[in-house]
Amino acid sequence: MTYGELYKFTLNELKDCTDSPSVEAGMLFRHCFGFDRVKISVNSDKSADGEAVELLYKCICKRKKFIPIQYILGESIFYDFDFIVGDGVLIPRPETEILVDEALNFIKESGIANPVVYDLCSGSGCVGISIARLLPYAKVYLFEKSDSALEFIKQNVELNQVTNVQVFKCDIFDGVSSELPLPDVLVSNPPYIPRADIETLQPEVKKEPVMALDGGDDGLDFYRCIRNKWLSEINTSVFFALEFGIYQSDDVLKLFSSVSDDARIIKDFNCIDRVICGNTVK
């Protein structure tokens, strides 16, 4: 087959498993042949064969089984930085970048010289590592329970060459450690899907670890834990920014208004309430 024929074949194979077959076909061509879009058309009459074509077929086969494209490529972009992802870790989502924006705004406005940042439930490390890259004078502590996620964090710390992070294997339900410096900022995108809803998620999302999704019966277990075992226990005012799920805005605001006078909700680019942030009162 020529590259042009292969490209058409790929588009056709992907059309039933994604809303953006041309974007994903482009990603797979780059992954398998090192081609950007222009190169696909320039090379469209040349014949394609060999191992790269075999790789493309394998990738298409995986995608048709609803394996997320990021798992197939082994990478994802977050805040313009590259992160290694794969089976066993949540794929970073664009709306989570709001946590980084809010942390950066707070640190800039407050003028704290050497901020201490906690990132709870770090997953791939995308939030904490992005903050650490953008603020080399900050100290960022990442807390994660899953062994497989911790492996990805290790790789992403190396890939992004950050030296101002420390990673802890930790169950956040055990509460805050008194041995670490107190945080100025606490960010988290914890699991927040109500348990009964997990079965109804899109097939791609169901390929992600349940531990990254399951927020307990009402989806709010982690928010109660962060409020009670972290923010209430920390003996200084902390700026917090936490992502939450659809329809959780009122409950989350109620929970955090008891520890903060200025808790407010931020919407994502689809105008959905997505993040709560504020300062704790001490």
Q: 120: closest CA among 183, 31, 195?
A: 183
Phi, psi dihedral angles at 122 (to 5 degrees): -75, -20
Instruction: Supply the DSSP symbol for 77.
Output: E
Q: Which of 10, 70, 130, 146 binds ligand SAM (CB under 6 A)?
A: 146
Least distance between ligand SAM and beta carbon 73 (Å): 16
Q: 245: closest CA among 261, 229, 223, 278?
A: 223
247 near ligand SAM (CB under 6 A): no
201 near ligand SAM (CB under 6 A): no
Q: How many CB atoms lie within 10 A of CB 150?
A: 20
70 near ligand SAM (CB under 6 A): no
Spatial separation of the C-alpha atoms in residues 178 and 225, rounded to whole Å: 16
**48 vs 91, beta carbon nearer ligand SAM:** 91
| Complete DSSP assignment for 223-262 | HHHIIIIIITTSSS--EEEEE--TT-HHHHHHHHHTTBSS
CA angle 75, 212, 141 (to 5 degrees): 75
Amino acid symbol at 122: S
Q: Which of 123, 194, 245, 278 binds ligand SAM (CB under 6 A)?
A: 123
Q: Which one of the spans 15-23, 56-64, 115-123, 195-203 is the region binding ligand SAM (CB under 6 A)? A: 115-123
Least distance between ligand SAM and beta carbon 85 (Å): 9
Please enumerate in sequence order all residues whose Cβ is within 8 A of that of 38, keeping only pairs 6 or more positions apart, or say none: none
150 near ligand SAM (CB under 6 A): no
**37 vs 151, beta carbon nearer ligand SAM:** 151
**94 vs 203, beta carbon nearer ligand SAM:** 94
Enumerate binding residues for ligand SAM (CB under 6 A): 90, 92, 96, 121-124, 126-127, 143-146, 149, 170-173, 189-191, 211-212
